[in-house]
Amino acid sequence: MKTMIRFLDSLHDRIKKDRSVFILYSILRLMVVVALIRSIILHHYESAAVCVLTLALFLIPSLLEEALKVKISPLFEGIIYCFIFAAEILGELENYYTKIPIWDTLLHTLNGFLFAAVGFVTVDLLNRNSKNVKLSPLYLTMVAFCFSMTIGVLWEFFECGGDLFLGQDMQKDFIIQNFQSVTLDPTRTQQAIKVADVVKTQIFTASGKVFKIEGGYLDIGLLDTMKDLFVNFIGAIVFCIFGFIYLRSDSKKKLATTVVEGLRIEPVPVSGDAADETGSSAEQTADHSVGT
């Protein structure tokens, strides 16, 4: 109960301090609620479940701030909300993944960028507040890069699990015309047999159904997975370049500073720390007065 009260207080403080983010949050949340009501009326319960999941994901920034005692920058928070909305509502409910072929690629690129930012600002926060260990700019950016790539791999595990166990098609298919396979080698000597210029494929099932694939052979997710990991790699590299320049440059290059500072996560001083700082300040003032 106390945790919920603190969470509501934190949300109320955010409304007062970051009004633009709150307006964005309210608009997106209202749109999700409307989509939820529409899905229930139309008996699209799977879509309704996506809406409920989206509403839950919208609470992540507030929950993280409360749990970790940090303050997420308004820009970073707004990007998180937009990313969730774009992935779940626009991508899944409005079928943008099909309507806009590069939608999935754009989101995975942004995912790599954002999680590199999360890894960077988190480790940089620990680095700046540590008295015993100071990480070099290169090491810090490498940690951020590895963190982003790890999240990308875990997401692909999630997509594979959805396909295998839930009957989904999260790892999107590609129609390809050329491939190599050792399975087709009649000698069983691991020789890759090349199949080129495939123009049509037929799939026969045990129940007698026949599926015809015009234009080539159906690749069931391998290319999509590798493409997603590659664009995640690109997004992570881009942010890490900004982060490295930010840490190495004494003059703090304007563009790098804008990117990194805009995605900053800062610690929130607890009441005891605030009291200590106040007491220390009062003692310094008293000492100065006595000396005078």
pLDDT band of residue 121 (cuts 50, 70, 90) is confident
The ranges assigned to domains in the chain are: 1-72, 101-172+221-269, 174-219
> What pLDDT does residue 290 have?
41
* Per-residue pLDDT tens over the stretch 36-80: 999 999 999 989 999 999 999 999 888 887 777 778 888 888 999
**Residue scoring higher pLDDT (170 or 215):** 215
Please write down the HEC assignment for all residues of the chain: CHHHHHHHHHHHHHHHHCHHHHHHHHHHHHHHHHHHHHHHHCCCHHHHHHHHHHHHHCCHHHHHHHHHCEEECHHHHHHHHHHHHHHHHHHHHCCHHHHCCCHHHHHHHHHHHHHHHHHHHHHHHHHHCCCCCCCCHHHHHHHHHHHHHHHHHHHHHHHHHHHHHCCCCCCCCEEECCEEECCCCCCCCCCCEEECCCCEEEEECCCCCEEEEECCEEECCHHHHHHHHHHHHHHHHHHHHHHHHHHHCCCCCHHHHHHHHHCCEEECCCHHHHHHHHHHHHHHHHHHHHHC
What is the mean predicted confidence (pLDDT) over 181-202? 94
| pLDDT of residue 287 exceeding 60 | no
pLDDT at 282: 45
Question: Residue 153 above 80 pLDDT?
Answer: yes
Residue 177 has pLDDT above 60, yes or no: yes
